[in-house]
Amino acid sequence: MLPPVMWGVQATARLLAGRPLGEIGGWLRILGLYDLVFVTVCLLLFPALMDE
């Protein structure tokens, strides 16, 4: 959970400081990619964590 929280904080700090949107593009892109990948992986792996 740590990476998305960090990126969220970084992106929000820049937004609140009135920095241009282009500057937070990297953070937003990786947040989106990370969410997509990990939601998929977690859904796939959840059954493996449950007792058979």
Partner 1 sequence: MTSETVGGHKVIRRGLVVTGLGLLGLALVYVLALQFTPVERLQGLPQKIFYVHVPAAWSALLAFSLVGIASILYLWLRDPRLDLFAESAAEAGLVFSLVMLTTGPLWGKPVWGTWWTWDARLTFTLILFFLFLGYRALRGAVSDPGERARFAAVVGIMGLVLVPFVHLTVYLFRTLHPQPIVLKPSEPSLPWEMLRTLFASLAVHTILLTGFVMTRYGLGKRAQLAGGDDAG
Footprint of partner 1 on this chain (CB under 8 A)? 2-3, 6, 26-27, 29-30, 33-34, 37-38, 41, 45, 48-49
What are 29's two structure tokens? 């892109």
Nearest-angstrom CA–CA distance, 18 and 29: 19
Rounded to the nearest whole angstrom, what is the least distance from the CB of residue 41 to partner 1 in the complex? 5
Smallest distance, Å, CB 13 to partner 1?
Answer: 12
Q: Tell me how far, at minimum, the Cβ of 15 lies from partner 1, in Å.
A: 16
